[in-house]
Amino acid sequence: MTEISPFKATVFNHEKIKDLSRVFCPPYDVISKKDQAMYYKKSPYNFIRVELNKETPKDNSRDNQFTRAKKTFERWIKSGILKEDKDKSFYFYSQDYYYKGEKKSRLGFIGLLKLKHFSKSGVFPHENTHSAAKENRLELIKKIKANTSPIFVIFSDKDRIMKRIFDKYILGKDSIVDVFDAEKVGTKIWRLSDPEAIGLLKKCMEDKNIYIADGHHRFEVGQEFCNLMRKKKKTFTGNEDFNYIMTYFTDLNAKDLQILPIHRLVKNMPCDLS
């Protein structure tokens, strides 16, 4: 059984940040050093300072990319740059982009996915993971106690229930985010806080199998962090925030969901391959 839950997102305060396109950044694992520097220059409030803070030669156990990310995150919350939403919500999320001259539009929603062991969760991975990437993300989540980017999952919604919920409860309403990112992808986000709609979306997902498209390391880190927190607690209900991971859900049957080839580059090969 797949369990999802709405949540109170921590978001940029529109009253303090007028141009949201200057504070967005992608997940850590697609950010090069060059990109990192570019996002740093975009704005002193670009989320890169939390998602992937710069390392320095002077880093130590008390001052490093993770402690700096923590201080930045807490400072932005205290100063009102970031604020928590008042109501628990799901967040519908659309992306518009062009591929070979043809416009594509992908719709999904962001919510919390209950963390369980793979064998019991209805969540299916397709990648092996590497310890270095997991250690990096685990250190960050231990410091800031938050998910900075969602994992990306697909599920089969042949009856288009998710789209029907969007059309009934969201279509025609103002979005809370409407920006183009550095890759010229148009992003819109809407809050879904209506109790009836939330119930319908939760019910829709109960019998669904979930396939991880991206975020295997973050998913395993979420599980590990959950286990660490449970060991620290004398008692727990299973409903604490650490039992969930922020997740983007989209329909695998949608016509604009694309699978594209990638190009692997192998570096530092030994001279003698015989």
**Cα three-residue angle 87-92-95, rounded to 5 degrees:** 145
pLDDT digits (tens, 9 = 90+) for 231-253: 998 888 999 999 999 999 999 99
> Contact 156/242 with Cβ under 8 angstroms?
no
| Confidence label for 272 from pLDDT (cuts 50, 70 and 90) | low
What is the distance between the alpha carbons of residues 68 and 143, in angstroms, rounded to a whole number?
Answer: 10
User: Mean pLDDT across the chain, nearest whole number?
Assistant: 94
Mean pLDDT computed over 41-53? 98
**Tens-place pLDDT, residues 105-134:** 999 999 999 998 766 668 998 888 989 999
CB 249 within 8 A of CB 12: no
Q: How many CB atoms lie within 10 A of CB 136?
A: 16
pLDDT of 175 over the 70 cut:
yes
Please check whether residue 126 is in contact with residue 215, taking contact to mean a CB–CB distance below 8 angstroms: no
| Per-residue pLDDT, 267 | 72
Q: Which residue has the higher pLDDT, 54 or 257?
A: 54
pTM of this structure: 0.92
